Structures are given as C-alpha cells and as structure tokens.
Structure 1
Amino acid sequence: MSGNIRFAIHGGGYIAKIHAAAIAATDGATLAAVAGRSGSASELATLANVPWLDGEEGLVAAAGRGEFDVAVLCTPNTMHAPVGLRLLDAGVHLLIEKPMTTSYADAKSLADRARANALHAATAHMWRVDQEATWLRDQVAAGAIGAVYRSRGCGVHTGWGPSGWFTEAKLAGGGAVTDMGIHAIDTLRFVLGEPKALAVSARTARRFISGDVEDTASIRIDWEGGTWSEVEAGWWQPYADGPESSLRLYGEGGTATLFPTAVVQGAETDKEQTLPGPLVTKADHCDPSIYAAQIAHMVAVINGAPSLLDECGPAAVAIMEAAYRSAASGKTEAVPS
C-alpha cells in the first residue's frame, strides 16, 4: 500500500489517547479520524485536529467511503465484536484493544471474517512487539534453559485499579482477568512458543471493589505436552510477584524471567551462568514506546509483513473464557479450539 497507513480510533478514553500519541509518533502512520458518542472522543478529535465521527454509524460510514485503512477499537469489550464485523465488511483492518472479544465464538467470528475478506483482525497484545519479551522468546526457542516444564505470569495492579465501565460486567465482560490476566496469558503463550492450551482451572473473587466483576483471580493453564502455567490477576492488590506481564519460567536446564529479563543457566550448580536480557527503560503502565512499536508493526503488516497479532486474540480469549467457566463451576474446564 503506497502512502501513510490511515488509522481511525473508536473511543476517546485513556487508552484511545495512548494510541493517538503512538500513531502521531510513528513514521508511515497518520490519524485520520476519531469516532465515539462521548465528549472525550470529540475532545480527542479536536486535540488531534482530525474529523470527529458520530459513533459506530459514523465510523462504519467513513470506512465504507474509504476514509481510513485501520480501525483501532478502544471501546468497552462487549462492543468489539459487533462493530468489528461491520468494519471488516466495510473493508478495513482492525487493531482491537484486549481482550479481542468477551467470548471465543465472537473472537473466532472476527478472525474468520477477516481471513475471508483478506484483512487483518489484530489484537493489541503489545508485549509481542516488546524487545525484552522477544529476546526471551528467542532464548527459550533456542533451548537456553532446556525444556520448560512450568511457568508463572503476573497481571496485577498493586494499590490501584480501573474504574468506570471496567467494573461493569455488561460492558467489560469480566474484571481483572479480562483487563490484566489476559496480558499475562498471552505473554506466556508468546514466550513459550504458542503452546496449545488444553484445560483451565480458576478461582475468582471480589475483595476490593464495589462493582459486579472480579478483582482477584488465580488461573492454572494445562498445555499440550504435560506442562502448565499459573497466572495471577488482580486490581487493588497489596502485593504482586512482579510488574505487569512479568513471567518466571522453569526449565530442565535453568530458569528465566521477564521484567527483570534474564536467563540463568545451570541454576544452583557450579556452572551457573546469568545471561542478562536487553535493558529497556519503560513507564510503569502503558509505556508509549511499546504502543508506538505496535503501530509500526501494524504499518508493516498492512504493507505485507507477517503479523504477530492476528492469531493471538482468539487463543487468549479461549483461555479466558475457560477460566470464567471454571470459576463458576468449580471444575477444570476444557479450552475450545
């Protein structure tokens, strides 16, 4: 595709502003419009000096007129699927804030429609374009710690949590698992080499907030091949094992961590050796450089490069959905595929 890739943002909240700044910072990308019914969306359009589109109808109409190439969906989670399907049928690519959808059936529908229309339905699992996560993935793939037999992921906010629609089930579809746990789930899949999830067991609770979603969760994922991962998700927690999407991997020949990032070979032996990962300074939350890298990746993908973000959305949602089923049933639940 010749010329800049034109992005339109649906929504005007905190994450929409992060994406707008990332688009402005990325060569080959331009912000063409902002859509939404809220005052924040029109304010963002004014701030960015781009047209404001009147909600979903305005966005879909502009897509049909060929006014942009990619829609960035920053709306409440339960809106992603219906709007996304309409936009794919109008001929534009998608970059969807996580989780891709609130059900595996909806995620699969979006992915299938995108393939049928020769378009991309990417999910904003931005750690897939992070330098440290990519380094660790490559180390694991090269066998730096041997076969990984178990792992842990952390998706926890300590001392704070989101408000507004994030705490309303009818809009968010869930709580800390859909907001934070989904990041840890996908980052584990990425670093471990995209293993197939077979089953999930989970417990959830609401301890710190007054909404109707969970703020605390523990999830165990059983992968094909007999390995497993444990994920902690939470808001307003008094403690976390590490920063957002931090990981710990246990291999037959060593251990590895993400944030801080390192590989330790021959741990607890006289041959112990530490390989430090790249040192990248990041903000504690929503680091601008990662979001700019994600937009740059989308530009490259639309110009023909392979996508890191197309297939991950449905797989993460399948695990998330199984976790909620397990928390409700008290049983281990199979992961759909």
Structure 2
Amino acid sequence: MSERTERSEGSEGMPDQHRMSERTERSEGSEGMPDQHRTSRLGVGVIGVGSIAEMHLAAYAANPDVRLAGVFDLNAERSAQKAAAFGVARVHPTLDSLLADPDIDAVSICTWNDTHAEIAVAALEAGKHVLVEKPLSRTAGETQALVEAVERSGRHLEVGFVRRFGSNARVLKSFVDGGLLGDIYHARATNVRRLGNPGGWFADHARSGGGPLIDIGVHALDLCWYFMGTPRAVTVSAVTHSPLGNRANVTSLSRYKVADYDPTQSDVEDFAVALIRFDNGASLTLETSYSLHALDDRLEVAVFGERGGAELEPKLRMVTEMHDTVLNMGPQIDHLSFDFAEGFANEIAHFVSLCLGEAEQVAPVSHGTEVMRMLDGIYESARTGREVRLS
C-alpha cells in the first residue's frame, strides 16, 4: 500500500459528556451504535498533517467527545510538531501502524488526491470510520472499491464537502426543503481565481487528478447539486483551457504557494466551463479557474426554482414573489458567507456524532461517487470536444 500521505499545504450543539465511544473491537452488526461497555471518548487519528489537516485537528481538539489518539505524515518532523500543538497522544511511524492502533476508532484523511481512495479502503478494512477530504478520488472508477469497502465494513464514510456545513448553507437548505423555492430547475456554480494556482501537487495532474475543477470548482458544483436534491447527471458539455499556466511571471500581487512550489511545473487546466443536464430536466452551469485575466476572484453559488431563487455565495440572499410583488429577502445570521472555522467545526462535530450513532449521514460515499461522475464527464467532454452522455 502506498504511504504518500503528506499534504503539502493545501459546534453543533453541546455533546453529552457521558457519550460512549464506538470501538473497533465491537461485534459486527453494531454499525453506528456505541459500545455500551465503554465510556471513553471517540479515538481519532489524522492521516496527513498539511495545511488542511490543521482545520481538522483544531476542530477535533475543541470537541469534548474526541480524544486525538494519533497522527501520521511522511514528514515525521511535521507530524511531531502538529502532535505537540494539538495534544495528540501518539505520532505513528507508518500508516499501517496508525490503522492497527486499537485506540483509534475513526480517521480523517487529509492527503494528496491520488491516495484518498487507497487509504480510505485500508482504513475501512481496519474497522475505522472515515472522513476523507474531497475529492473522494481522482476518477469515478476509483470510487467503486470504496463503495464496496463501505458495504463490507459496516463503517461510515463521509466525504469532506465542508461547505455543506456552513451556517449559510444550512439555513438555505432548510428553506429549500421547506419548499420556498419550489422545484429547482437551474443552478449556477462559479469559483474563479485570477492568480490562484498554488503549485506543488495541486499543479501535478498525476497526484491531483486535475486543476481548479477538481480542487475548487467541485465545492461550488457540489453545493448547487446538493440544493437541487442530488439528481442524477445524464449529459455534460464542457471546455477547458490552459494558456496561462501558474502565471509565475506575475510579481505585483501576492499569492498562496505550497511549500514545494515550482514555477516550472503545471500540467493541469487553467480554466473549465461546463453545462450539466440532469434526469429530472434541471440544468447546471459551472465556471472555474486557477488562472484567468479577470478583474477579481469570484465565488458564486446560485439556484433558481419555480417559486423563488437564492444566492448562497458571495452572501446568502433569497428572492420570491408575494402578493404579485418580487420580494428580496436576507436572513439575519452570523455568517452570510462561508466561515472556514465554523464550517470545519460543524463538519467534525457531525462526523463525531455520526460515529457515535447520533446523526444521519450528510455526505455519504454515494454523493462523492456521483460528483466524480460529473467531473469525469466534464474532463471527457473537454478532451473529445463533444457532449458526453454519462453511463
């Protein structure tokens, strides 16, 4: 098994203090149910301790139902530093060591995209619950082994679609589910950076599986699809462009760069645009980029229904009709746009509750698989120059 687990840069209610941890040694058939003979907290291990893992570690460390039992990263020095910073019980020398640790009930996988599926399967087979960072894999084909592993293991796998857990997204979902918008027939997903290629593994197709589409566009795509009710995609028409690369020549603006940034390396797309049609007749347009001659970066998530519409980003706003009048509405909440700390805290709190048998899944493996089908279709349509019908 590969151990390429280094990721180079890249609270829901108050829990009951008497909750019992689910342990890996409990008998089969007890999925999601706590071991009634245990009173310890949920033991969590984090695999890969790059930048995104800090959000996981901070949220776990703040959760009173969690005991951070172990970490592993290819960079042993960084593992030791993160373990000390977040009070992790043990730094594991290998991935196999962490997965064999009986004190670990669940893991967060925060590694390169090309390792997500392989490590997740191994973790499930070791009896661990899994929270895996998006994307679930590099391709839809890689997800089949994950689906089978979830079914065999009886453990939970949640995909890290963290923006579903923002307070703005939760509020909008409640309005959508309540029928305010009616049937949603179109959505618009935009995540454009003008100078946003971080380099490193993000710009290496072999490790990432793609560029802005699979890295940042997927967040906007997933949110729109989630609010639409997760219909099945049937056709995709798309174009990608790569004329600008990482724009390493630009020195007038600062940018985020990974630790192993190489100005000569970038074999992923700069820009992607797509039209997706669904089995219920609805449509979705997507636009995303790392490098683009745009005036500003732009994030937009918008859905349009028969009775109303809404924008989630750049800030939550809704529109409907009442008494023959168009009515714009804005909820009074703390975060009208996505707040990273809150989003990760909510995601981790939900995952912990799920492992303890106290919550239902929000982002199951089937959702990760369907999103990968759409991404595969976008890349195939762009490569072939024609509309693709998804199998």
TM-score (norm 1): 0.90
- 1:114 corresponds in structure 2 to 150
After superposing the two structures, state which structure 1 stretch, 258-267 or 64-73, moved more: 258-267
Unmatched 5+ stretches in structure 1: none
2:368 aligned with 1:313, yes or no? yes
**2:305 corresponds to which of 238, 251, 255:** 251
Residues 175-232 of structure 1, C-alpha deviations (whole Å, 9 max, x = no match): 1111011111211121111111112121112224150001211121111121100111
Measured in 1, the distance between the counterparts of 2:337 and 2:284 equals 26
Q: How many angstroms does 1:253 deviate by? A: 2.7
- 1:288 corresponds in structure 2 to 341
**C-alpha spacing 1:155/1:29, structure 2 compared with 1 (3 Å):** farther
- 2:355 corresponds in structure 1 to 302
2:40 aligned with 1:3, yes or no? yes
Q: How many angstroms does 1:282 deviate by? A: 7.5
**C-alpha spacing 1:137/1:203, structure 2 compared with 1 (3 Å):** same
After superposing the two structures, state which structure 1 stretch, 127-136 or 220-229, moved more: 127-136
Q: Give the secondary-structure state (helix, strand or coil) at the position aligned to 2:207.
A: helix
Residues 303 and 310 of structure 2 are in contact (CA less than 8 Å); yes or no, is this contact kept in structure 1? yes
Q: Give the secondary-structure state (helix, strand or coil) at the position aligned to 1:265.
A: strand
Specify the code of the residue in structure 2 equivalent to 1:92: K
Q: How many angstroms does 1:298 deviate by? A: 0.4
- 1:48 corresponds in structure 2 to 86
2:205 aligned with 1:205, yes or no? no
Q: How many angstroms does 1:134 deviate by? A: 2.1
Residues 154 and 240 of structure 1 are in contact (CA less than 8 Å); yes or no, is this contact kept in structure 2? no
Specify the code of the residue in structure 1 equivalent to 2:115: M
Residues 48 and 73 of structure 2 are in contact (CA less than 8 Å); yes or no, is this contact kept in structure 1? yes
**C-alpha spacing 1:223/1:280, structure 2 compared with 1 (3 Å):** farther
Q: How many angstroms does 1:270 deviate by? A: 4.9
Residues 189 and 224 of structure 2 are in contact (CA less than 8 Å); yes or no, is this contact kept in structure 1? yes
Measured in 2, the distance between the counterparts of 1:97 and 1:254 equals 32
After superposing the two structures, state which structure 1 stretch, 60-69 or 82-91, moved more: 60-69
Measured in 2, the distance between the counterparts of 1:191 and 1:242 equals 20
- 1:162 corresponds in structure 2 to 198
**C-alpha spacing 1:167/1:17, structure 2 compared with 1 (3 Å):** same
Residues 26-84 of structure 1, C-alpha deviations (whole Å, 9 max, x = no match): 23123211101124333222322422222xxx233332231211111111100111121
Residues 102-127 of structure 1, C-alpha deviations (whole Å, 9 max, x = no match): 11122232122112210112110012
**2:62 corresponds to which of 8, 25, 28:** 25
Specify the code of the residue in structure 1 equivalent to 2:54: K
Pairs within 5 Å for 1:270-285:
270-281=324-335
Specify the code of the residue in structure 1 equivalent to 2:66: A
After superposing the two structures, state which structure 1 stretch, 36-45 or 116-125, moved more: 36-45
Residues 299-330 of structure 1, C-alpha deviations (whole Å, 9 max, x = no match): 11111121102132111111111111111111
Specify the code of the residue in structure 2 equivalent to 1:9: V
Measured in 1, the distance between the counterparts of 2:40 and 2:92 equals 23
Instruction: Count how many residue pairs are aligned between Structure 1 and Structure 2.
Output: 329
- 2:284 corresponds in structure 1 to 229
% identical equivalent positions: 26
- 2:16 corresponds in structure 1 to none
- 2:384 corresponds in structure 1 to 329
Residues 221 and 228 of structure 1 are in contact (CA less than 8 Å); yes or no, is this contact kept in structure 2? yes
2:49 aligned with 1:12, yes or no? yes
**C-alpha spacing 1:224/1:278, structure 2 compared with 1 (3 Å):** farther
Measured in 1, the distance between the counterparts of 2:279 and 2:337 equals 35
Pairs within 5 Å for 1:94-105:
94-105=130-141
Measured in 2, the distance between the counterparts of 1:114 and 1:63 equals 16
2:123 aligned with 1:87, yes or no? yes
Q: How many angstroms does 1:23 deviate by? A: 1.0
Residues 100 and 123 of structure 1 are in contact (CA less than 8 Å); yes or no, is this contact kept in structure 2? yes
Supply the RMSD in Å over aligned alpha carbons: 2.1
Measured in 2, the distance between the counterparts of 1:73 and 1:100 equals 10
After superposing the two structures, state which structure 1 stretch, 195-204 or 95-104, moved more: 195-204
Q: Give the secondary-structure state (helix, strand or coil) at the position aligned to 1:294.
A: helix
Residues 134 and 160 of structure 2 are in contact (CA less than 8 Å); yes or no, is this contact kept in structure 1? yes
- 2:111 corresponds in structure 1 to 75
Residues 166 and 172 of structure 1 are in contact (CA less than 8 Å); yes or no, is this contact kept in structure 2? yes
Q: Give the secondary-structure state (helix, strand or coil) at the position aligned to 1:279.
A: coil
Q: How many angstroms does 1:248 deviate by? A: 1.4
Residues 7 and 69 of structure 1 are in contact (CA less than 8 Å); yes or no, is this contact kept in structure 2? yes
Q: Give the secondary-structure state (helix, strand or coil) at the position aligned to 2:136.
A: coil
Specify the code of the residue in structure 1 equivalent to 2:311: T
Q: Give the secondary-structure state (helix, strand or coil) at the position aligned to 1:31.
A: strand
